[in-house]
Structure formats: structure tokens, C-alpha cells
Structure 1
Amino acid sequence: MTLRSLAGTALEVGAIAVVAALILGAALGQPVLVSYVETGSMEPTIDTGDGFVAVPSFLAGDVSEGDVVVYEAERLQGGGLTTHRVVGKTDAGYITKGDANPFTDQDGPEPPVTEDQIVAQALQIDGTVVVVPNLGVAIGLIQDGVLAIQSRFAEMVGFGDSLDRQGSGVVLLAVGFALFALTYLLDEGKRGRSRERAPRRRTLDTRIVVILLLAAVLVPANAAMVVGGGTQALTINGEDVAASPGIEPGDDATWEIGVDNNGLVPVALVFDGQSAGTTVLDEQMTVGPQQAATLSVSATAPGPGERTVLSVTEYRYLHVVPVSVLVTLHEVHPLLALGAVNAVLAGGVLLLVWRVAGFGRIRIRDGRGASLGTRLRRRFG
């Protein structure tokens, strides 16, 4: 293999990695591997529209002063993902600030940032953030074009807009991934024929397509379920209880924990109380795409000078299986519920490929026979 071919292969692998990371990030509702900023609050470290390498929090390790983190803001600019630098720490959480801002986020409406709010850290080498220039600008322009086309089509057929910028990005990147995979397979077929003495018919092995599609669907789906779940903790201080009307120390009281679904697929959530004395009142619920909900838990209210930690583990499943079935399987073992979701997703992919092209090799082009397009029309006809 020549140096030129090695470089080409490296670029292809890098492109696939970036595409897969962006699709996965959209599915999870949090950055994975790469992300970008849309404002100038982090200039000159990260300019508006520049991308950066984002390391998920469960891989990045402990947060230190000087780290640039991506966290789920509660009130800052209406809430949502924010990329700012950690400039301090208090008992209540981290103090964050945009490099270009004259004041911290906590000088405004945002409370100190807790560990469970941090979803990623920007990769730094020798204290310098690794930046991908204009990544966000390019993605934004393409997404705007997709949104314009989709909006025009929706008007023509009498439907309202159905995609936002995140949704258009997922559609665009998924289509691009599929086209890249198809082009790669066709090029492999060309190279294989060039090494043969006699010309052969141009074919496509749909089994390879199945493998690629299964990977493109199952990898982000399982990441969304496994990484999206986890344990949440809510600390109740006795002083806050004393200041709350209607609650007395020692009473059974109810508190709420926020849960959200930043992805594009509805999720079924199953909850288990982990800390002693914690009772989960809503053991399961369904949260729609881009929606939030509240989980009610009860425990004995602590007295002054005391505190109670309410710890709840969340199991997240894509809602492609009836909730009752998921709950039944979950009660046996969470892996059974996870397996049921994967079986449905994999079955959908297999059914799609079988309906469109069948399994085995199909002819792409043949001067003596029907083209691939004709063959597909015949199948659907």
C-alpha cells in the first residue's frame, strides 16, 4: 500500500469517525467526540462556529479548575447545553465562566454546576483546547439548507415543519453515511474486477449493507440507552425543610427530580430507589423526544443539622417495545429489556433490506439486464 493510499484511507476513517460521533451525539442529546459553539462567550479560546474535541464526562475523569466543560444549564439563556470554563468550586458545585464574559454564570441566574450536569469536557493539550476551525459554521450552513428544502416540501404537501436543526443534522449525516458506505462498496467492486482477467457483472453484496446499517442503528441506540441512564442524587438539607411551610422534620415528604430526553426518539424510563428510605412514586414513565418530565420520590424529611440523600437509578430504553413488556423484562433483568429493543431495531433493518433488495448479491448495472433502479421498482411494484 502506497503512502498516498494510506493517507486516503486515514482521511476516510477520520471522516467516518466524525460523522458517527455527530450522529451519536444527536441521539444522546450530548456531544460525543466533537462539538461546536454557537456564540462568542468562549473567545478567543474557541471562536464562534469553531468545533472542539469533546470527551464524555464518564471518560474524562475528575473536573479541575481551568477545564472547559459542557454542562446542562438550568437557567442560563433559557437552559440547555453550555460550554464554559470552570473557574472555581464551592460546596454547592462548580463556578463557570465564558472566557469572553466579564462575570461568572453564577453571578447571573445559574446556580453552581453539579457533577451530574456536566456531560463532557473539551480536550486540552498542554492547557490549550483542541479546536476544529469552522466546524460549526459548515454544519450550520448545511443544516439551514436541509431545513429550507424540508420546509418547502412540507408546504407543498400540506404538512407543517417537522425538523429542527438537530433533526436535520441527524437526517443529513445518516444519509451521508449511507451514501459513503454505498460508494465504498461500489469502489471495492471496481478494484476487485480490475484484478481479474475476464470482466464480471457489477454486483453489490447486501449482506455487507446489512452489517453497516446494523452498526449505524444499534451503536448509537445502545449508547443512548446505556450512557443516557445512570444514578441521580438529590440532597435534602434539614435547614431547607425547616424553612418549607407544610413540612415538619420526620414527616414523609415528596420531592421531584427532573429527567429529560434530549434525543429524537421517545424513551421509556424505569426507576429503582437506591438509598435507604427512598420510595420512587413513579416507577416508570415515557418521555417524548426533546421533552422533560419530573420524577416524584418520597422520604423522611431530615431535621435541622441533618441531610438526606435521595438516590435513584434510571434505566433508559428506546420506546420501540410496549412499556408493559419492557417493565416485565426489566424486572427479570435489565439486559433482557435491552435485548428486546435491539431485537426490534435489528429486525426492522433486516426487514427493510429484505424488502428493498433481498439478501445476497444484486446486480448494480448490466447492459443485458435491468438496472438496479428498475429492479427496485419491480420489487415495490
Structure 2
Amino acid sequence: MLRNLGLALLLLFVGALVAPAAAPVQVSYVVSDSMEPTIATNDGYVLVDAGTVSAGDIITYHSEERGTSVTHRVVDITEAGFVTQGDANPSTDQASGYPPVQPADVSGTVLTVDGDPLLIPNLGVGIALLRSYWHLTVALLAGLVLYRVAGSARQRDRDSVIRSREVILTTAVVAVVVGVALVSFAGTAQTTVYQVTEAETPGGQTLTVGAERTESLVVRTAKTPLTHVVTDTDGMTITDTTTVDEPTASTGDGDGGAIARLQARVLEPERQNMTASIPPQETTGPHRTSLRVSPYPATLPYGVVTTLHGIHPLLAALSTILVIVAPLYVLYWLLVDTMAPLRGTRSRRLRRLGRER
């Protein structure tokens, strides 16, 4: 009973973690320190339907200018929209140049208990660890499935028979689904919106009409062995990439020391320094640039992976995982009698016991 309840809670948690923005309940985590000390970097939180938003609520909303979702506190409500601010920021987002948040852009509010957000400490570290060592995750989940199947078999009638194919098929399906999910969520993306002006304007995110611009980008990824990395860009072109191994930061053994070491090992062990060229723009207005880095298991040639990725990233993820699972599954079917029972029936054991006597 407790095992079934634990499995159900685990499935609910995973479902909330990968739920789309329209889902009534989601689980996410913050990637910056803008909400500290209320929500620390990498702390997870539960997002529920926004309903009526009030000043003081912590909301998650999509920022068109940032090209990502932001989790900040509502400090004021005006006719133009919500005024938001990170607890660690000295000024509001709107004072920094961002427009008021519209209700349609709000994904939900952070669930609170007695006024404090319900947090999952270091959820981001755990997710990064799963993404980096996805093969170990698949193996552990496959072992969990085998354990659950064996447990169910023991609870059946003693005369029942469980065939080996029932176990191996379930294990293969779970391995493929989990592997594809981990690979699909392992990508790193960033978006920047530039303002194109007629004359050269001081500022980091401005472009001049007719002028080409060169930008330096830094992308931090987990250093995972045996992977192919595919880079997608929009609105710019990558002209050079240099990969630098970042040394693990040394931390003390005090509070948070182990977590800090795990963060340094899993979250930022490798840095890619990229040089990007933004082509000249002909008209004024916003110009969006985006960059996405997608790692895949190196189970297929790089050219094949890039071709599959060009069709759809999900196809590339599925193909690279199937190359691992499918041969093992076929080999099992060729070498093992899939109809063979994993254990004998009760009557067969009793007959064998009678003959031995």
C-alpha cells in the first residue's frame, strides 16, 4: 500500500514538473538569486492557478523582452498591469525598463503556507544531475520497474506464472520514455531582444540600422561524456566556439558545503565561449536573437544527429535512445526464451517436492 502510494506521488510530481503552462498545477525552480532570501537559487516551488492576483503574491509570468519566464513578487497593481520586483532587487522590473505584466502573461502564483512559499530545496541541482547522468537514471528506473513487477508477482496467486517478456517489454518502454524525456529537457536556451535605432545609441541591447554587430556569448552546460551538441540560432550566426573546463569551486564543510560542491560539479563544469555575428538590420524596431544548445547521446554519427534534429529535436532524442535500447531488446528476444516463466507454479513445485521425497 505504501509503495503504491509512493509511486503515485512520484508520478504526480513528475507530471507536475513537465506539465505545460496551461496546467492547473506545475512544479518549477528558480535559476537566479533575484528572489533571495525568500526563494534561493535552484529552489523548487509549486505553481497553482493564479486566480485573483493581489499585491504581495509571487507570480511566474512570461517576459517577452527577456524571452523566458520570470518568478517575482507583485508589489503594486495599476491599470497598465502588475508591477513586479525580485525580493533581492533594489528596484522594480518596470523601473528597469520592462513593461507592466499583463494578466494574460501570468502562468500562476507560487503556493504558500502561512504566507511562506512551499519550497523544494535544491530541486534545480537534482534535475541537472538527472540530465547529466541520464543513463544512470534510466538504469535506476528500469530496476524500479523490475522490483515492482517482482513484487506484484509475489502477491499473485501461487499458481500464476509471469513470463520474462512481460518484464523486459515494460523495462524497454520505460527506458525509452525516460531517456527521451531527459534528453529533451537537457537543452540550454537564451534569448535577447535588441532595439534597432537610426543613430548609434549607448547601451548593451541596441543595434544601429545598417551596422553589423559582434557579440560574445557564454553558455554553461553540464559536462557529460559521449555526447553530440547541436547548436541552433535565430537572428544571428555563431562564428566561433571555444570550450573551457571550469574548475570545481572549493567550498567548506559547513552548512551548504556539500550542496555547493554538487552545484559546482553538476551545474557549471563546462563553459562554451561563443562569438556571434548579428547581421545589419534594415529597419528600426525590436530584433530578437535566440540560441539553443541541445546535447544528445553520441550513439549515432554527428551528421545523422544534426539531420534528425533539423527535422525535429524529439526525433533526434528518440533515435539516439532507441539505438541503445533496441539492440539489447532484440538480443534478448534472440537469445532468451521469452515464453519461459521466471518462476515455476505452485503445483509444479509441489510435484517436484514429492518426487524428491
The CA deviation string for residues 162-182 of structure 1, in whole angstroms up to 9 with x for no partner, is xx9677986886565334322
> 2:213 corresponds to which residue?
254
Alpha-carbon offset, residue 209 of structure 1: 0.8
Q: Which runs of 5+ in 2 are unaligned?
A: 20-25, 64-68, 245-266, 346-357
> 2:121 corresponds to which residue?
136
The CA deviation string for residues 263-309 of structure 1, in whole angstroms up to 9 with x for no partner, is 56553112244xxxxxx332897989843443513233689xx5441
> 1:375 corresponds to which residue?
none
Alpha-carbon offset, residue 186 of structure 1: 0.8
CA distance in 1, matches of 2:184, 2:293: 12
CA contact under 8 A between 2:131 and 2:186: conserved in structure 1? no
CA contact under 8 A between 1:69 and 1:86: conserved in structure 2? no
> 2:85 corresponds to which residue?
96
CA distance in 1, matches of 2:160, 2:178: 33
Write out aligned runs for 1:227-266 (5 A). Answer: 232-238=191-197, 241-243=200-202, 249-256=208-215, 258=217, 260=219, 262=221, 265=224
Write out aligned runs for 1:281-300 (5 A). Answer: 281-282=237-238, 290=268, 291-294=271-274, 296-300=276-280
SS in 2 for 1:252: coil
Structure 1 residues 312 and 136: alpha-carbon distance in aligned structure 2, compared to 1, 3 A threshold:
closer
Alpha-carbon offset, residue 53 of structure 1: 1.4
TM-score by length of 1: 0.51
Supply the RMSD in Å over aligned alpha carbons.
5.9
Structure 1 residues 38 and 15: alpha-carbon distance in aligned structure 2, compared to 1, 3 A threshold:
farther
Name the aligned partner's letter for residue 85 of structure 1.
Answer: R
SS in 2 for 1:41: coil
CA distance in 2, matches of 1:283, 1:241: 24
Selected match of 1:309 from 287, 290, 295:
287
> 2:351 corresponds to which residue?
none
Name the aligned partner's letter for residue 181 of structure 2.
Answer: V
Name the aligned partner's letter for residue 237 of structure 2.
Answer: L
The CA deviation string for residues 75-113 of structure 1, in whole angstroms up to 9 with x for no partner, is xxxxxx996535479x9x985322xx5xx2559xxx778
Write out aligned runs for 1:1-381 (5 A). Answer: 9-18=4-13, 33-35=27-29, 41-43=36-38, 51-54=44-47, 66-69=57-60, 84-87=72-75, 96-98=85-87, 104-106=89-91, 123-124=110-111, 131=118, 135-136=120-121, 176-192=140-156, 194=157, 198=159, 200=161, 203=164, 205-224=167-186, 232-238=191-197, 241-243=200-202, 249-256=208-215, 258=217, 260=219, 262=221, 265=224, 267-273=229-235, 280-282=236-238, 290=268, 291-294=271-274, 296-300=276-280, 306-312=284-290, 314=292, 316=294, 318=296, 320=298, 321-328=300-307, 334-335=311-312, 338-353=314-329, 360=338
The CA deviation string for residues 16-42 of structure 1, in whole angstroms up to 9 with x for no partner, is 3436777x79xxxxxx72548999934
Matched pairs, number: 290
Q: Would you tell me which structure has more helix in proportion to its own residues?
A: 1
CA contact under 8 A between 1:38 and 1:49: conserved in structure 2? yes
Alpha-carbon offset, residue 252 of structure 1: 2.6
CA distance in 1, matches of 2:13, 2:180: 17
CA distance in 2, matches of 1:346, 1:284: 32
CA distance in 2, matches of 1:295, 1:121: 36
CA contact under 8 A between 1:37 and 1:83: conserved in structure 2? no
SS in 2 for 1:241: coil
Structure 1 residues 263 and 87: alpha-carbon distance in aligned structure 2, compared to 1, 3 A threshold:
farther
Name the aligned partner's letter for residue 33 of structure 1.
Answer: V
Structure 1 residues 223 and 352: alpha-carbon distance in aligned structure 2, compared to 1, 3 A threshold:
same
Alpha-carbon offset, residue 187 of structure 1: 1.6
CA distance in 1, matches of 2:286, 2:31: 38
The CA deviation string for residues 106-144 of structure 1, in whole angstroms up to 9 with x for no partner, is 59xxx77899xx9x8653379967625xx438999xx8x
CA distance in 2, matches of 1:345, 1:95: 42
Structure 1 residues 123 and 299: alpha-carbon distance in aligned structure 2, compared to 1, 3 A threshold:
same
CA distance in 1, matches of 2:343, 2:145: 18
Name the aligned partner's letter for residue 281 of structure 1.
Answer: T
SS in 2 for 1:300: coil
Alpha-carbon offset, residue 208 of structure 1: 1.1
* Identity in percent: 15
TM-score by length of 2: 0.54
SS in 2 for 1:234: strand
CA contact under 8 A between 1:51 and 1:136: conserved in structure 2? yes
CA contact under 8 A between 2:43 and 2:124: conserved in structure 1? no
